[in-house]
Amino acid sequence: MLALSGCGVSRGASHPALAAEAAQVWLSTPDREHLLERQRDIPFTAADTIDATRITVDRSQQFQTMVGFGAAITDASAELMQRRLTPAQREALLQELFGRGADGVGFSFVRLTIGASDFSRTHVTYDDVPSGTRDDDLAQFSIASARADLLPIVRRARAVNPQLSIVATPWSAPAWMKSSRSLITGSLDPAAYPAFAEYLRRYLDAFANEGVPIDWLTVQNEPHHEPKDYPGMRFTPAQRAMFIGRHLGPLFIARNVHTQILDWDHNWDEPQSPLSVLGDSVARRYVRGVAWHCYAGDVSAQSKVHDAFPDTETFFTECAGGAWAPNFGDNLRWNTKTLVIGATRHWARGVALWNLALDAHHGPHLGGCNDCRGVITIDSATGAVTRNEEFYALAHASRFVRPRAVRIASTSGVDDLDTVAFRNADDDSVVLLIVNSAAVARTVTVVEAHTHFRSTIAAGAVATFVWR
């Protein structure tokens, strides 16, 4: 196998002929000397290493079944890939992002915006009418604005990876449905609850007819936040419970809609908000899970809600890096430890970061974040792609952990080493991800059943081990 250059991932299949007597190793280091680079296989041995930190992997302890890892295909991301890349560049990038061949990292969980977010050139929904008028029958409903860039990119991503799962989120109801009569600020007018439910159903039906079925739906992005310069909508727990329990849920049942409803889609610091919705006996019938963001609070909030409602699924749906955090090594470590490892250890079935792709000027966008970083950066002039630290954090899991993998037990939090482990359903391989947050290298002995292997992980490094 050839080691990667600084602009891509290492070549070769992600699981070539796994042997029971050795573990494959893939490494990224904070100095960028190694970026998802294949290392020498490590042989198993029957002899334990006493002077190393012991990490035990136990496949008999099983937790959630995984959907996957990925990012949001925002309007900005879709436009850059569709308009700023040549057909050959676009296809190569989509094969890398979503494929599972020699060069693919296998993203299998993405998020779409229902209408505009701040990462759109214009603020629109799929049912905009002149100010002062209404469209209660949704006669003006149209997804035409999604056909130029968004739908072609998502369709091709699904063709590359047929196991791709999608969660979709509105940033605002159409302005005529809101108290503010504007996409910016305001709340949903209770009289418009039936119309908004039908609006969301029509969106799901329209996208499915375009070859983009939606697996999960959240009813509002960041419902406790009213941004001042891009679409948003305050939606309290009581309002969400009423909307889901009396309108959206019954409509989905009546119209045989299979898309699952997720609540919250906001930060870790307010677990009482989704707990309140789940505590509503009527709404609870229709809520399949809870979605989370990273911008406040601690990832352990996910377990607080899961423990209260164990049959509720957990998804992590947004976090962005940006110019405010320029250190590659710190970002690689934090994203891996907190989002890839932390979110999944706290029950997340899927982990999606924010913009999949942005340009060198942190856009295109209209309002909102003016210095966000995409998982990748696309040069608008040349189509050159830069893979950012978020890309490598995700890829250390997505390339090896396939949909339907099950999280299994592993020792974590010892000697500044955080871990998560999975067992793939299709070939029974085990994937162990380790991040070393210590200021010095750590030597570990990884133990499964009656076999062991030993590895030394550099300070700040991320390593993925795969064996069968």
Active site residues: 222, 318
329 and 460 Cβ atoms separated by less than 8 Å = yes
For the chain, the distance separating the N- and C-terminal CA atoms, rounded to the nearest angstrom, is 20
463 and 434 Cβ atoms separated by less than 8 Å = yes
Radius of gyration of the chain (CA): 22
Which is it for the CA torsion 344, 347, 349, 351, positive or negative? negative
Tokens standing for residue 155: 């369709």
Tokens standing for residue 33: 């000397």
Q: Is 133 exposed, middle or buried (0-12, 13-18, 19+ CB in 10 A)?
A: exposed
Q: How far apart are alpha carbons 11 and 435 in whole angstroms?
A: 22
AA letter at 460: G
76 and 120 Cβ atoms separated by less than 8 Å = yes
Q: In this structure, are strands 348-355 and 68-72 parallel, antiparallel, or unpaired?
A: parallel
CB neighbourhood size of 256 (10 A): 6
Residue 326 preceded by cis peptide, ω within 30 = no
Spatial neighbors of 310 by CB under 8 A, at least 6 apart, are none
233 and 186 Cβ atoms separated by less than 8 Å = yes
Give Cα separations from 264 to 20, 184, 236, 237, 374 (angstroms): 43, 19, 10, 9, 23
CB neighbourhood size of 5 (10 A): 10
